[in-house]
Amino acid sequence: MLLTACSTIARAGIALRRQAVLFRTAHHSDLLEIELGRRNIPFVKYGGLRFLEAAHVKDVLAILRWAENPRDAVAGLRVLQLLPGIGPATARGVLAQLSEEAFATGALARVSPPPAAAELWPGLSRLIARLRDTNIAWQGQIGLVRDWYQPLLDRLYDYPAARAGDLDQLEQITSGYTSRERFLTELTLDPPDASGAQAGRPLLDEDYLILSTIHSAKGQEWDTVFILNLVDGCIPSDMATGRPEQIDEERRLLYVAMTRAREHLYLVQPRRFYRTQQPRHGRAHILAPRSRFLPDEILGLFARVDGSPFAPTADGHSASPVPRVDISSRLREMWR
């Protein structure tokens, strides 16, 4: 439905690059990106960092996450295995010992590490203790992490000088966040902009569709704007509904997204989310509740269009599913 609307608007004289699809979190556009590629529709995406996939950046973030939540076993396993002589089994044993002491701040210092890790172990213990100290200011914490991590960066990875540039970028990004908790939450929901984050101008055509996270869309305007996933859990994000002020911030984000449109605004609410790990033709799903920011009282202000193939018909029954495709016949036709 969304791609059909984009094409219709383009035929009406609004170029693709004057249209934008906005979303709360970078991965919300994954399926759309696949479909755009399948249809050879060029696009540029803003928001999301490729360098967050780099191992050395993940290492630093794992240290911060483990300090933020000592029970984060995934982060703890990654941090412990940075040290020489520590593999998965030893790391799990260390976490079990820490659990027996209820993850007390000084528990790590009382662990006896393997001989190969003995040199770096006291530094790691002091680092985690300092990061867990609420009196230590957030600004500068990545600097503390890097001081301990630098020898490992040189040992574990090729081109450590180039990788240090990524950590410089990460450290610069932290200056825009008031707390470590906020930084880690926002980094998960919407990785901030940096070099290499943009897909680059497409080569298929001089026209292209804009895909952008809401954060990256601030200050921009387009003639037509589509906002994806207007459901609770996406907008507002399920990671930002713990406190009233977080919900207020999510509402402001939706306001920012809606006011990016000059002429046409489309709010897209999926009917359902299909479950993973089910048979190929499985239909197990959960219903998607409309965002709390769009209560029934204001729905009359919108023109509502149902593009679902399973939408109720005029007689109240569900429409027929999408027709089955005879793959065998299609393949035979291709080889004729």
String of DSSP letters for 181-218 = HHHHHHHHHSPPP-TT-S----SS-S--EEEEETGGGT
**pLDDT tens digits for 199-230?**
444 444 468 899 998 988 888 999 999 999 99
CA neighbours closer than 13 Å in the CB half-sphere of residue 152: 23
* Contact (Cβ atoms closer than 8 angstroms) between residue 22 and residue 225: yes
User: What is the rounded distance in angstroms from the CA atom of residue 110 to the CA atom of residue 122?
Assistant: 10
Q: Rounded CA gap, 264 and 270, in Å? A: 19
Domain formed by 52-189, architecture = Orthogonal Bundle (1.10)
Strand partners, 148: none
Range list for CATH 1.10.486.10 in the chain: 52-189
Separation CA 25–CA 6 (nearest Å): 21
* Mean pLDDT for all residues in the chain: 79
pLDDT at 167: 83
**CA distance linking residue 52 with residue 23, whole number of Å:** 19
The architecture in CATH of the region 2-47+198-298 reads: 3-Layer(aba) Sandwich (3.40)
Judge whether residue 106 has pLDDT over 70.
yes
Residue 320 has pLDDT above 60, yes or no: no
160 upstream amide cis, omega within 30 of 0: no
* Percent of the chain topping pLDDT 90: 36
Strand partners, 287: 272
pLDDT tops 50 at residue 67: yes
Planar angle of CA 246, 252, 257, nearest 5 degrees: 130
- pTM of the predicted protein model: 0.51
Q: What is the mean pLDDT of residues 122-148?
A: 92
Q: Which amino acid is at 320?
A: S
Please return the burial class of 111, using the count of CB atoms within 10 Å of its CB with bins 0-12, 13-18 and 19+.
middle
